[in-house]
């Protein structure tokens, strides 16, 4: 793999990840770009003990441009994009409209009980392929491995930034999910705090260890593999299953069989085995309703400084689609109370996906 670092016209960092050592990524960004926006504010909610990022500059971000104006496609004569090169394998760059960044910020007094501090951190965009009309499910195993190498590289680099407490790699796919760009891509957030979901999971894992002496995530995986009824697909190194208490009408978790805290701790065989299984699961998801499935794919990795001995890196994929013509909206119970109601039996979802994955 060849890794090339360069910069865009406004100073943001751009990295190319290529399979070929002779790849030429010397093309410069010739655009006249406005200055980078200030960092967001973090405001503390004392009622939930959570940090909320307030990033007003994101209101002006690009929204569903036509394919011939896609900012994630390679640059071409007369059409300059975020990727100056005329082609690329995988490209990663700092988000132009970040939720967190290292830019200076001027926080105004807020009053009340809410503490305010700068939204330091970093947000990056990961372009999985230069092919605008492709999808992650159609990537070759070699291309998935290259994407994973980019995730691993960025997780390590971002974890070393001052103030970063957690690194989150994810993909939003489909207009129903709320994407703003259709090109196959994901994002990476480097948070200046440990996220609420991770805090809850690690607290549960710690209680489980004190009570049983076991590893919560490993025990969940072992129980699902033994029961088998919710397993969708598996190979020597990974298992994909629908969790017994799935929140979403379509939800699949992918675990490596060996506990590792983060993606960088996976060995070469585990990295190579991930792509063939994951893309098979994604194709099964697309076959579930006969239309491309909108989804969020979220990597759970250990925080930078805490809970690493309790963490178990795994991928969670979920969708709001519950039928070919119906979406699950987060209404009163879910949005106001955080109390999920799933309209679909997880065992039925697993059975249908298993049949599609085996076909």
Answer yes or no: are the C-beta atoms of 259 and 219 closer than 8 Å.
no
φ, ψ dihedrals at 348, nearest 5°: -70, -45
Annotated active-site positions, please? 185
Answer yes or no: are the C-beta atoms of 203 and 348 closer than 8 Å.
no
DSSP 48-111: TTEEEEE-GGGGGS--S--GGG-TTSBPBTTB--SB-SS--SEEEEE-SS-SS-SS---PPP--
CA distance 118 to 43: 9
Packing angle of the helix pair 268-288, 346-358 (nearest 10 deg) = 110
Question: 3-class SS at 148?
Answer: helix
Whole-angstrom distance between the N-terminal and C-terminal Cα of the chain? 34
Question: 3-class SS at 344?
Answer: coil
CA distance 318 to 249: 8
Q: Exposure of 163 by Cβ count < 10 A (0-12 exposed, 13-18 middle, 19+ buried)?
A: middle
DSSP 178-234: T-S--SSEEEEEEESS--HHHHHHHHHHHHHHHHHSS-HHHHHHHHHHHH-TTEEEE
């Amino acid at each position: 793999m060849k890794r090339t670092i360069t910069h865009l016209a406004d100073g943001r960092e751009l990295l190319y990840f290529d399979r070929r050592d002779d790849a030429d990524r010397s093309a410069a960004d010739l655009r006249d770009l406005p200055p980078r926006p200030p960092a967001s504010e973090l405001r503390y909610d004392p009622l939930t003990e959570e940090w909320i990022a307030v990033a007003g500059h994101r209101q002006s971000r690009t929204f569903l441009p036509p394919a011939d104006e896609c900012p994630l496609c390679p640059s071409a004569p007369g059409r300059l994009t975020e990727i100056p090169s005329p082609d690329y394998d995988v490209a990663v760059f700092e988000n132009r409209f970040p939720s967190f960044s290292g830019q200076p910020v001027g926080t105004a007094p807020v009053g009340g009980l809410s503490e305010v501090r700068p939204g330091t951190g970093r947000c990056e965009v990961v372009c999985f392929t230069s092919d605008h009309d492709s999808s992650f499910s159609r990537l070759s195993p070699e291309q998935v491995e290259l994407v994973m190498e980019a995730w691993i590289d960025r997780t390590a680099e971002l974890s070393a930034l001052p103030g970063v407490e957690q690194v989150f790699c994810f993909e939003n796919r489909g207009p129903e999910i709320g994407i703003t760009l259709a090109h196959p891509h994901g994002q990476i957030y480097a948070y200046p705090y440990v996220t609420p979901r991770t805090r809850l999971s690690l607290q549960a894992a710690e209680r489980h260890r004190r009570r049983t002496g076991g590893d919560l995530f490993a025990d969940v995986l072992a129980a699902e593999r033994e029961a088998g009824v919710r397993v969708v697909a598996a190979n020597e190194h990974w298992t994909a299953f629908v969790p017994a208490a799935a929140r979403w009408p379509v939800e699949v978790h992918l675990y490596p069989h060996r506990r590792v805290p983060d993606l960088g701790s996976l060995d070469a065989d585990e990295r190579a085995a991930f792509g063939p299984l994951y893309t098979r699961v994604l194709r099964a998801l697309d076959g579930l309703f006969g239309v491309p499935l909108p989804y969020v794919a979220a990597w759970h990795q250990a925080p930078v400084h805490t809970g690493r001995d309790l963490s178990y890196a795994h991928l969670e994929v979920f969708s709001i689609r519950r039928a070919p013509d119906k979406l699950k909206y987060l209404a009163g119970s879910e949005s106001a109370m955080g109390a999920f109601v799933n309209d679909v039996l997880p065992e039925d979802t697993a059975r249908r996906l298993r049949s599609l994955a085996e076909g």
